[in-house]
Amino acid sequence: MSIITISLPTTEGTLENYRLREPTTFEKHTGRRLPTSFSRIAYAAAHVVADPRKEVDPWLQTAVDWDATIKYRRYLWSLGLGVAEAMDTAQRGMGLDWPTSLELIQRSIDAARDFSATHQINTLLASGAGTDHLKASPAVTLEDVTAAYELQCEAIERAGGKIVLMASRALVRAATTTEDYVRVYDRILAQVEQPVIIHWLGGMFDPELIGYWGSDDDWKAMEICLSIIHHNEKKIDGIKISLLDEKKEISMRERLPATVRMYTGDDFNFPDLIAGDEQGHSDALLGIFDPIAPVASAALEALAQEGYKTYFELLKPTVPLSRYMFKAPTRFYKTGVVFLAYLNGHQNHFLMVGGQEGARSTLHLAELFRLADQAGLLRDPEFAAKQMAAVMAVHGVQGQ
């Protein structure tokens, strides 16, 4: 490869002539990877691609490029990864409204069926059900929250989908005791047709969810969540916790019923949590698996076929990128996810639902570029450098 360089801003207010490394090929062989070839279940929480050609006000209205969005899901399935649909990474409730989310879910279910039939494999797809169509109001009651969950769960199951039961901002507002959470979850879980994945999303991802399960103390909240899980064990496939705290996840994992999986949502410590220990391991439902999909797939295959050494060698370089992408304010990590998709040619623009392309600074984007390059995640460095130069020019940064 010829030497490729690009001018990037530094924290000192200067420009550096950054030199890109040789690209990394994570594929050991041609052909598809199967989910069944992995020793862990792995979902990537997938982003959506905005449609810049539609006449909408991005902060207020949603326009999705359906072709590009579904194409990316097919790419994830081709790597053996499952897709967690209409989740936080897709800007659910932060730009992506419920009517558009339902259309996204229905399109993804159709695409998964087609992919399965075409490739003769079983694709993994789970879709978020929440209460985000409820308008924020002090008048919202627990009955309103329950009815909202019922509406979304029924819509997803009617379309043939598997449910991820998302945390509810409306429930945080309406609940006055921990028992309110128990009543709502017990009622919803009693009605679902197949086991669901419960999602406990921490306040660092969504400040409006602080105090979920009825306590600001995560350890106390964990007790309530565990009691719900044990009471409804047969209706629960697993729990995804996104607290960015390795100790809390392991502690909770060790106390789950044997039939209930722990799906890590820890984008800081995921390699160790997925690898596990003699007491057990976590499966994965991760936002970071969207931008690092090729290396995640290769690492999971290595874990199943070769053991831990290659697995950790592959994932170790991605951890600095993930920690930087998900740094506080963590809820803006989606900007980095879409930025890497743009750099790698999965979409031809760097625009986002909700106008979130402006949620991170120019310096943040520059550091993401460096870290993605150092992790070998720029599949065509020359192309990525041209994409990056275009963004930097728009941001007023141009080489001398």
For residue range 141-191, what is the model confidence (pLDDT) as tens digits? 999 999 999 999 999 999 999 999 999 999 999 999 999 999 999 999 999
- 5-9/15-19 β-pairing: antiparallel
Output the pLDDT for position 28. 54
Angle at 55 between CA 50 and CA 59, to 5 degrees: 60
- Lowest mean pLDDT of 51-60, 150-159, 337-346, name the range: 51-60
Output the pLDDT for position 306. 87
Report the b/e string of 266-301 with b at 16+ CB within 10 A: bbbbbbbbbbbeeeebbbbbbbbbbbbbbbbbbbbb
Tell me the average pLDDT of the chain: 95
Region 95-99: mean pLDDT is 95
**The pTM of the whole model exceeds 0.85:** yes
Residue 268 Cα distances to 217, 250, 315, 358, angstroms: 20, 14, 12, 23
Q: Which residues pair with 15 in a beta bridge?
A: 9
CA distance 235 to 262: 15
| Best CA proximity match to 278, nearest among 248, 312, 253, 304 | 253
Of the pLDDT bands very low, low, confident and very high (cuts 50, 70, 90), residue 26 is confident
CA distance 162 to 67: 22
| Best CA proximity match to 161, nearest among 115, 199, 198, 196 | 196
What angle do the packed helices 293-305 and 308-315 form, to 10 degrees? 170
Of the pLDDT bands very low, low, confident and very high (cuts 50, 70, 90), residue 30 is very low
Of the pLDDT bands very low, low, confident and very high (cuts 50, 70, 90), residue 27 is low
Q: Look up residue 101 and give its DSSP letter.
A: H
Pick the CATH number of 34-364 from 3.20.20.70, 2.40.50.100, 3.40.120.10, 3.30.300.160: 3.20.20.70
CA distance 289 to 270: 10
118 vs 34, more confident: 118
Output the pLDDT for position 287. 98
pLDDT digits (tens, 9 = 90+) for 278-328: 999 999 999 999 999 999 999 999 999 988 999 999 999 999 999 999 999
Q: Is 277 helix (H, G, I), strand (E, B) or coil?
A: strand
Domain ranges of the chain: 34-364
Output the pLDDT for position 37. 82
Report the b/e string of 220-241 with b at 16+ CB within 10 A: ebbebbbebbeebeebbbbbbb
Angle at 293 between CA 85 and CA 269, to 5 degrees: 90
Helices (H), 79-127: 98-119
pLDDT digits (tens, 9 = 90+) for 209-261: 999 999 999 999 999 999 999 999 999 999 999 999 999 999 999 999 999 99
Output the pLDDT for position 137. 85
What angle do the packed helices 98-119 and 142-158 form, to 10 degrees? 30
| Burial tier of 34 (Cβ tally within 10 Å: 0-12, 13-18, 19+) | middle
CA distance 392 to 103: 34
Is residue 382's pLDDT more than 80?
yes
CA distance 292 to 284: 13
Q: Is the dihedral of CA 85, 89, 90, 96 positive or negative?
A: positive
Output the pLDDT for position 135. 84
Say whether the peptide bond before residue 291 is cis (omega within 30 degrees of 0): no
